[in-house]
Amino acid sequence: MNREMETILLEQGRKAKLASRFLATAGTDMKNEALYNMAEQLEKQTEEIIAANQIDLEQGEKQGLTRALLERLALNPTRIRDMAQGLREIAALPDPIGEMLEMHHRPNGLDIGRIRTPLGVIGIIYESRPNVTADAASLCLKSGNAIILRGGEEALNSNRIITRIISAAAMECGLPEGTIQLVDSEDREAVLFMMKMNDYLDVLIPRGGKGLKKAVLENATVPVIMTGMGNCHVYIDEYGDYAKALPIVHNAKVQRPSVCNAAETLLVHKKVAEEFLPGIIADLQAAGVEIRGCETTRRIVSGLIEATEEDWATEYLELIMAVKVVDSLEEAIDHINQYGTGHSEAIVSENYTAVRTFMARVDAAAVYANASTRFTDGNVFGFGAEMGISTQKLHARGPMGLRELTTTKFVIYGDGQIR
């Protein structure tokens, strides 16, 4: 990375740190006013956003981006309205900052409390989806954090204009210049530099594929919250209801296959495999899904591709699904815990004990009974949006909303006590 880019990043870090000190005590009304203005300006400038996004799409096609990546990259008036609505929904949520979590009185007369405070400056590195720019910025603003955004080079034009619009809208409402910033560079060295900006970033959130996660794990010195990777499963138990299983599997795989909460593997108990699999596979194939089956699956339904060991561990992000027949609930749980990424897992069963066992023993951020994995989403969970789906266990797990972007501090009230 050249010296000029390094200087720019350090200056962005300095501005963000200063802005974070202002934001830590900014009033709820000021933050909400900024969010409403950001939403309004996004809608007013829809044509400009789509024009910039079209440049990214055209360049992406020339560079050979997959259909799944192009779908994630694309913006249209509906998606921009959804972005704006997300900002309004975040404005309507309770402000977490200053919330008193506990207070107790000690025998020495001290009153010891714990309140919710911002993390400070958050860096986010993400790929493809330009709506993340607005979602992440709005969540950070409402939770009192400054943000430095670094989107993928495939969405650079889209991210530029969205950041320019929402940053200007926030400043119009009195928030400082460093509140929302974009690393405006295609240089991947800039990402590596961000990973080591300990003097300025309080936390780094990577939101992308295996390559990005590997780079962060190997290089980051800034504290990291891992998000994303979604090798999700649907398990149809021996007590499953076919009338529920069919639409759940279809939705989990087909509705939007390019996102991290889409199901990649279907597990079916051997006692219902002969009855359920032909209809479910026919339904998936009619929707364009390529099926890769285990030996038993291929015996029940002919003409399928043979599933390999690699398939059980693959996040396809497209219309491909691996299918395996299992001997028991225990085998299904063991398979999920071995190959899953800790994101979202579902069981279809009418048996209370089977459901409770699955919910207790499957190690994931979100575990479903008789519902699609596609619901794992900050907006659906009532958070307005999300910074990502945390698949780790420390600090935050699952969709990261406002509270997950805060920490706490103790406040102690005395009357002259000494120790």
Strands (E), 106-187: 111-118, 121-126, 146-150, 180-182
Quote the CA–CA distance of 165 and 146 in Å, as a whole number.
Answer: 16
Pairing of strands 121-126, 203-207: parallel
Structure tokens at 147: 């943000």
DSSP summary character for residue 315: -
Nearest to 371 by CA among 249, 275, 215, 201: 249
pLDDT band with cut points at 50, 70 and 90 for residue 72: confident
- The pLDDT-based confidence of 228 (bands split at 50, 70, 90) is confident
Average pLDDT over residues 196-209: 92
- Identity (one letter) of the amino acid at 279? G
Residue 356 phi/psi, 5° resolution?
-65, -40
* pLDDT at 214 exceeding the cut of 90: no
CATH code for the part of the protein at 3-227: 3.40.605.10
pLDDT at 208 over 80: no
What is the chain's length? 419
Q: Report pLDDT for 226.
A: 86
Is a pLDDT exceeding 90 seen at residue 94? yes
| Residue 331 pLDDT greater than 90, yes or no | yes
- Residue 112, pLDDT score: 98
Q: Which of 102, 202, 108 is nearest to 410 (CA)?
A: 102
Q: Name the segment(s) of the chain with CATH classification 3.40.309.10.
A: 232-375
In 10 A of CB 85, how many CB atoms? 16
In 259-392, which residue ranges form alpha helices assigned H by DSSP? 270-286, 295-300, 309-312, 329-339, 352-361
Q: Which residue has the higher pLDDT, 385 or 148?
A: 148
Report whether pLDDT(209) > 80.
Answer: no
pLDDT of residue 417: 96
Under a CB-based contact definition with an 8 Å cutoff, are residues 87 and 35 in contact?
A: yes
Report the C-alpha gap between 380 and 393 in whole angstroms. 21
Phi and psi at 401, nearest 5°, equal -100, -155
Q: Mean pLDDT over residues 273-277, rounded?
A: 98
Identify the pLDDT of residue 385: 81
pLDDT at residue 128 is higher than 80: no
Question: For residue 212, what pLDDT is reported?
Answer: 82
d(CA 151, CA 138): 16
Strand partners, 366: 344
With a pLDDT cut of 70, the percent of the chain lying above it is 100
Average pLDDT over the chain reads 95
pLDDT band with cut points at 50, 70 and 90 for residue 3? confident
Note the pLDDT tens digit of each residue in 107-125.
Answer: 999 999 999 999 999 999 9
For residues 30-36, average pLDDT: 98
pLDDT in tens, 367-415: 999 999 999 998 899 888 888 899 888 888 999 999 999 999 999 999 9
Mean pLDDT calculated for residue range 302-312: 97
Q: What is the mean pLDDT of residues 340-362?
A: 97
User: Greater confidence, 213 or 296?
Assistant: 296
Structural tokens at position 73:
């990259």
Higher pLDDT, 378 or 288: 288
pTM listed for this prediction: 0.87
| 1 has a pLDDT exceeding 80 | no
232-375 belongs to which homologous superfamily?
A: Aldehyde Dehydrogenase; Chain A, domain 2 (3.40.309.10)
Q: What does the pLDDT average to over 169-176?
A: 98
For the cut 90, the answer to whether the pLDDT of residue 254 exceeds it is yes
Amino acid (1-letter code) at residue 245: A
Q: Let me know how many helices (H) and strands (E) the chain has, helices first.
A: 15, 16
Query: If you ran DSSP here, which 8-state letter would residue 292 be given?
Result: E
Q: What number is the average pLDDT over the span 69-85?
A: 93
Predicted pLDDT at 395: 84
- How far is it, in rounded angstroms, from Cα 5 to Cα 190? 7
Domain(s) of CATH 3.40.605.10: residues in the chain: 3-227
